[in-house]
Amino acid sequence: MDRIAVTGGYRLEGSLVISGAKNAALPLMCAGLLTENTLTLSNLPHLADIKTLKELIEGHGASTTVEDEGKNLGEGQVISFKTPVITNTVAPYDIVRKMRASILVLGPLLARTGEATVSLPGGCAIGNRPIDLHLKGFEAMGANIELEEGYVRAVTPGGRLKGGTVVFPTVSVGATENILMAATLAEGTTVIENAAREPEITDLANCLIAMGAHISGLGTRTLTVEGVKSLNGAEYAVMPDRIEAGSYAIAAAMTRGELELVGENLMDVMTGTVGALKEAGIEFTKTDHGVIAKLGTDKIKGINVTTQPFPGFSTDMQAQVMAMMTICDSASVINETIFENRFMHVPELTRMGADITMHGSTAIIRGVDQLLGAPVMATDLRASMSLVLAGLVADRQTFVNRIYHLDRGYERLVEKLSNVGAHISRDAGMGI
């Protein structure tokens, strides 16, 4: 396996293009299964998850055309999807096991054909993430669900889902996306209560509306969908990645640098994250192309944060903020309320000299003067980025192993950081 080598102590400065959001791109790609016409998506990041989902969608009968814009680093690719006929309603284990977002083909397949068989999903090992909310939502719309031999088998009597009221007992981004897509082709009106409000949900809804769907309540806890018999094709640009933007803002602050993060409406989609980062002392200044991020204080300030659904502080930023807090001016407290296993980066940061104490789902971080480079092991996508961030300010070299997680969520990270002054490289075949 490859590894990343980082030599700390270098200030980051310059302009960095924020890629299209992976968490927005994946459901948008699945939406291509809802229509027999062409859905063209631009600003898709070059990531392993995009490639995996493209392969899965092609297995259901989609033909795809890829155009790599190749203008500037991070500006993404254009992929067109056309599925005149769903030729296969089975999503196999060999593909679905690679990432959890594969479950998002269930809604489009069920809505389009009246049946779907999808393997239970895989992804990062950050905790128990059952899909029961997805399944109960489909049952509320008239689907019959069976679980057998690791697969979900869903069938709609009569061939078409029925509109209904879907009430989520807890907020779920994936379940909201799956039900939202399915509801666009259901018979009648579907009301989704306690819907997730993440910007990626709104991005998906806007794309579906461009395809002819009737959706109201965008950005609220209640989404109402008037089903239509068919959807059209469309052209749609994926929103910028708010998690990537927040991660690089932290990189600027930790290295006492200054980065212009290039992307549309970054401050709007980073709600929740921006509040916490500002409290830590990071300043944001809007520009014509995005936003400038830099540390506005003598030292990073300790903060207390609790992960929450949007518009609260995102669990996907928890590991990166923890890395920043390891060198803050005092003590910080991070409460993780979304995933029970999302502190697996703590032992690795501790290997680098961080002072972190764990109490169940709470981490207490006491800032130290200097982190020390060390061999560390990535355990999930965001943990990987936290270790890279720590390496940027550590004394001597840090070697981050198992970086295949990074390939799933950060487009060309080594190239981007190298271009703004980081001493970072990727060693082929050196990892463990």
Catalytic residue flag (residue 124): yes
Query: Which residue reads 């803002």 in tokens?
Result: 249
* 96 CB-near residues (< 8 Å, 6+ apart): 56, 102, 103, 118, 119, 120, 121, 122
Find how far residue 275's CA is from the centre of its chain: 19
Q: Are 338 and 401 in contact (CB under 8 A)?
A: no
Q: Where are the alpha helices (DSSP H) in 21-105?
A: 22-31, 48-59, 93-96
- Is the backbone of residue 379 left (phi > 0), alpha (psi -120 to 50) or beta? alpha
Asked if 25 and 240 count as a contact pair (C-beta separation under 8 A), the reply is no
Of the candidates 319, 334, 304, the one whose C-alpha atom is nearest the C-alpha of residue 389 is 319
E strand residue ranges, 97-245:
115-119, 144-148, 151-155, 165-167, 189-193, 214-216, 222-226, 234-237
- The CA-to-CA distance between both ends of the chain, in Å, stands at 6
Active-site residue list: 124
